[in-house]
Amino acid sequence: MNIADLNINIVMNPVYIPYMDKPQFLQIFFGGSSSGKSYWICQKIVLDNFNGANYLVCRNVAKTIRKSVFNEIKKAISAMGLNKYYRINSTDMEITCKLNNKQILFVGLDDPEKVKSITPINGVIERAFIEEATEVTKAALLQIKKRLRGRSQISKHIYLAFNPILKSHYIYKDYFKYWQDDKTSYEDQDICILKTTYKDNLFLTAEDRKLLEDETDQYFYEVYTLGNWGVLGHVIFKNWRVTDLSAEKRHFDHIFNGLDFGYSSDPNALIRCHLDRKRKKIYVFAEDGQAGMNDFELAAMCRKNCGEQYIGCDCAEPKTIDFLKEENINAYGVQKGADSINRGIRWLQGYEIIIDVTCQNFKNEIEQYHWREDKNGEPTRTPVDKFNHWLDALRYALEDEINDVRATAGVRI
Ligand SMILES: Nc1ncnc2c1ncn2[C@@H]1O[C@H](COP(=O)(O)OP(=O)(O)OP(=O)(O)O)[C@@H](O)[C@H]1O
Ligand SMILES: [Mg+2]
């Protein structure tokens, strides 16, 4: 059976419809926030799969998949009324079309062995979708290309979706050579590119639109509202790098934990680090958290990650801290002085920050954290208060250390 034989109602944003059957191997869908990229690709994946294609759906870090693209695809199957044709294995994150035994498989690129070995039950992987592709290294993207080898009647494609965070990114350098900023699409033999913004998404509420239109920071407005490649002027942290800490992690013995509480759409953000004060290094080795958790889920997350260790928390939420204490979590409120953010930043700037590959949220935040600019484009002394949840959690984790330095300044020489 082909999808066309079913009488189903699929409502797509019109801008994407011409991209249902493009011939190019690499297909790039980038642009502003809430432009409908992920939603549409998930619709397309289900339709293609129903018509016989095996898919590999990837993100840089495995643990970010379940709550994002795996859920989106399950929702797409439901919305199209195709549940009865699908078997969904949530434990292994495998989705199988019962009619043709073709699959949608999910993998985190932080598990290279799984990337190499993952195989559908019927045929080969013909198509891969990389969600939030700017998170992915060039080497990992090449690995995925390799995975699409193998004979098949079905055309092979890689689809990328992302927000264009930085013009210095390899994706821009490698695939946007002929891109013109005043156009919204590009095509040649090998690549097709489509840029979309919230204006292309007919399903947003007036409130959603206003939130994007009201963005006051130039960088965030360019990237997330207009979908243009970002250029960051006054970044706050350059003293960081990402590496695999899985071996070192076992020896960490000077551990600090921090938690920033989420409000409505903001995430609860937990961070764990090891401090090597002598060598001036901070190892950010674990993170957890997301938006929309209740207090019990929050307590469970703290317990799972930190056990009985202390966790420095935002003192603005004493009720939540009390609740965590009742749940036997060693949470304490961090006193925030008037200049605590800037003092914390200055202190952190004196260290090398080494980030484990799995700490994707922290990496995304530190990469984009920048000073607010005045009307002449000069940096102020205020960081833009956005995308800073895991970063704030790191300051809370280390707040006592930060204050110690201040209290003894002038004493140590
Ligand atoms: N065809 C559709 N039918 C119904 N709702 C839709 C459709 N397309 C998009 N939406 C709604 O718009 C929201 C935003 O779309 P989506 O998450 O795909 O944007 P995005 O471009 O991936 O954004 P981001 O860059 O932030 O990841 C979805 O969560 C969904 O509520
Ligand atoms: Mg998306």
- Ligand 1 centroid to Cα of residue 203, in Å, is 8
Number of helices and strands in the chain (H, E): 12, 18
pLDDT of 265 over the 50 cut: yes
**Regarding predicted confidence, which is higher, 305 or 66?**
305
What is the Cα Rg of the chain in Å?
A: 23
pLDDT band for position 339 (cuts 50, 70, 90)? confident
Interatomic CA distance for residues 40 and 203, integer angstroms: 12
CB of 35 sitting under 6 A from ligand 1? yes
Assign residue 107 a region (left: φ > 0; alpha: ψ between -120 and 50; beta: otherwise): beta
Mean local confidence (pLDDT), 204-224 = 96
- The stretch 275-286 carries a mean pLDDT of 97
pLDDT interval class at 98 (50, 70, 90): very high
Which of the residue ranges 80-94, 197-211, 265-279, 329-343 would you say has the lowest mean pLDDT?
329-343
Q: In this model, does residue 242 exceed pLDDT 70?
A: yes
What pLDDT, on a 0 to 100 scale, did the predictor assign at position 358?
A: 95
Mutate to test the pocket of ligand 1, among 72, 159, 203, 204 (most ligand atoms within 8 A of CB): 203
Rounded to whole angstroms, how far apart are CA atoms 332 and 312? 5
At 409, the pLDDT band (50, 70, 90 cuts) reads very low
* CA distance linking residue 386 with residue 224, whole number of Å: 12
The predicted model gives 295-308 an average pLDDT of 96
Percent of the chain scoring above 70 in pLDDT: 97
Minimal-distance CA residue to ligand 1 atom 4: 203
Ligand 1 contact, 257 CB (< 6 A): no
Beta strand 269-276 pairing with 281-288: antiparallel
Looking at the domain that runs over 240-408, which CATH code has it been given? Answer: 3.30.420.280
13 lines ligand 1 (CB under 6 A): yes
Q: Confidence band (pLDDT; 50, 70, 90) for 5?
A: confident
Percent of the chain at pLDDT > 90 equals 87
How much is the average pLDDT of 101-126?
Answer: 94
| Interatomic CA distance for residues 42 and 198, integer angstroms | 18
Give me the residues paired with residue 86 across strands. Answer: 97
Asked if residues 219 and 387 have their Cβ atoms less than 8 Å apart, the reply is: no
How confident is the model at residue 264, as a pLDDT?
74
Confidence band of 405 (pLDDT split at 50, 70, 90): very low
Asked if residue 44 has its Cβ within 6 Å of ligand 1, the reply is no
Superfamily of domain 3-225: P-loop containing nucleotide triphosphate hydrolases (3.40.50.300)
The pTM score is 0.92
From the CB of 33, is ligand 1 less than 6 Å away? yes
Domain residue limits, the chain: 3-225, 240-408
Band of residue 395 on the pLDDT scale cut at 50, 70, 90: very high
User: Residue with the nearest Cα to atom 16 of ligand 1?
Assistant: 36
Asked whether residue 71 carries a pLDDT value surpassing 50, the answer given is yes
Residue 183 Cα to chain centre, angstroms: 27
**Ligand 1 centroid distance, CA of 44 (Å):** 13
> Does the pLDDT of residue 3 top 80, yes or no?
no
Tens digit of each residue's pLDDT (9 = 90 or more) over 181-200: 999 999 999 999 999 999 99
Sign of CA dihedral 111, 116, 117, 118: positive
Cα(317) to centroid(ligand 2), Å: 30
pLDDT above 70 for 365? yes
Confidence of residue 338 (pLDDT cuts 50, 70, 90): low
Q: Residue 157 region, left (φ>0) first, then alpha (ψ -120 to 50), else beta?
A: beta
The predicted-structure confidence for 168-183, as pLDDT tens digits, reads as follows 999 999 999 999 999 9
Per-residue confidence (pLDDT) for residue 412, from 0 to 100: 31
